[in-house]
Structure 1
Amino acid sequence: MGGFTRHRRSGRVIATFTGFEADLLRSLTGQLVELLRNESATVDDRDPFEALMDFSGPTAPPEDPVLARLFPSAYADDDEAASEFRRFTEGALRDGKAQAASTVIDTLEEAGLPPLLEEDGLMIDVELDEPEAMTWLRSFNDVRLALATRLGVEDDDEDYWWSLPDEDPRAQAHDIYQWVGGLQETLVDALSRG
């Protein structure tokens, strides 16, 4: 994994992914979009202004542990305030996270990732301007939180993960979690060099 760098002349953030890596990113972000939109999927054919002014969002925390981690309670000691805050904000937050993940997918596909990966040795070059890079960064954070929640990753548990045999699916999923974290770090570093 080479990760992200800043192009000296254009100032754009660039990375090259193998076809496998790009397809893995597409899969992870696709699963995130599905999770975010599955619970809140509604057909909204109202007037756009009416939809914008609709604050009838969810008031209870999500049951799915990943969604609960992505949308924590804003007021831990005040259930009523937390419920009202969630009602006014969670829908837009979900849409923003789903859009960020969709942007990653769209960018990879625009860079040449085919709908079904069939080619060995395929390389995908991605160039991002600063706003696009920030969107990718937000999406990486959401993917990492989702993976950490599903895996049960906790602070200072590295010894546990290193003790698992390589063929253990949990170890493989943890490797993906670490890989996304490494990409996130290189993206932060590339952005800081702007």
Structure 2
Amino acid sequence: MAGLFESAGGGSAAIALDELEASILRSLEVQMLELIGPGPGGDGGDPLAALFAEGPTEAPADPALARLFPDAYGDPAEAGPADEETRAASGEFRRYTELDLRARKREDALHVVRALDALGGDGGVVKVDASGSGRWLGALNDLRLTLGVRLEVTEEDEQGLYELPDSDERKPLVMAYLWLGALQESLLEAITD
């Protein structure tokens, strides 16, 4: 996979994706949407339910979701009995912020899916204007964080990912993880040129 972002001037960027790259990126974003889940009121998006909805007060049990929606005040797994006040503050913060954060992450992923859908199932050039670059960066970051958690990647391990044998069952996910990192980096460079 070689498609990387290039500057299109004025804080915008463009990327040429072949059919396989577009398909993989779209599939990953759809899986991200499934992981994040529907908003308040379900898939119908009942505006009244969303208006009165409060978020959860506990961190998600899924490690990938916990990475996407971390506690505001420390790691609950490291908290001791004396940290009850910190846990309560984290729960209160989560209660009032997580739904908005989830909505933003859903919107970022949908933005990318729609851009890829505009290619009509084929490869092609996707143009990202200056206002959409933040959504792309957010969506790519969320994918990379999620894959990193699923692969149990640490800073020490990252160099070893390049040396995985082809027989390693993690290889396809590692390739996607590394590609997403290259996409992020190239997009950042493109919009700052």
Structure-1-length-normalised TM-score: 0.85
CA deviation after TM superposition for structure 1 residue 160, in Å: 3.8
CA deviation after TM superposition for structure 1 residue 189, in Å: 0.1
1:3–1:182 CA contact under 8 A, matched in 2: yes
1:44–1:51 CA contact under 8 A, matched in 2: no
| Aligned match of 2:13 | 13
| Aligned match of 2:156 | 156
The amino acid that maps onto 1:93 is L
Identity %: 39
State the Cα RMSD in Å.
2.2
CA deviation after TM superposition for structure 1 residue 40, in Å: 6.5
Figure out how many residues of one structure are paired with residues of the other and give that number.
182
Structure-2-length-normalised TM-score: 0.85
The amino acid that maps onto 2:4 is G
- Taking the TM superposition and a 5 Å limit, the aligned residue runs for 1:131-150 are 131-150=131-150
1:95 partnered with 2:96: no
CA distance in 2, matches of 1:177, 1:41: 33
Secondary structure, in 3 states, of the residue corresponding to 2:170? helix
The amino acid that maps onto 1:85 is F
CA deviation after TM superposition for structure 1 residue 32, in Å: 0.4
| Aligned match of 1:117 | none
Instruction: Give deviations 1:48-68, integer Å, cap 9, x for gaps.
Output: 46733x252100000110000
| Aligned match of 1:66 | 64
CA deviation after TM superposition for structure 1 residue 11, in Å: 5.8
4+ residue runs of structure 1 moved beyond 6 angstroms?
none
| Aligned match of 2:168 | 168
CA deviation after TM superposition for structure 1 residue 39, in Å: 9.0
| Aligned match of 1:106 | 114
| Aligned match of 1:186 | 186
Closer, same or farther in 2 for the Cα pair 1:36/1:50, shift >3 Å? closer
The amino acid that maps onto 2:89 is A
CA distance in 1, matches of 2:96, 2:127: 35
Closer, same or farther in 2 for the Cα pair 1:169/1:39, shift >3 Å? farther
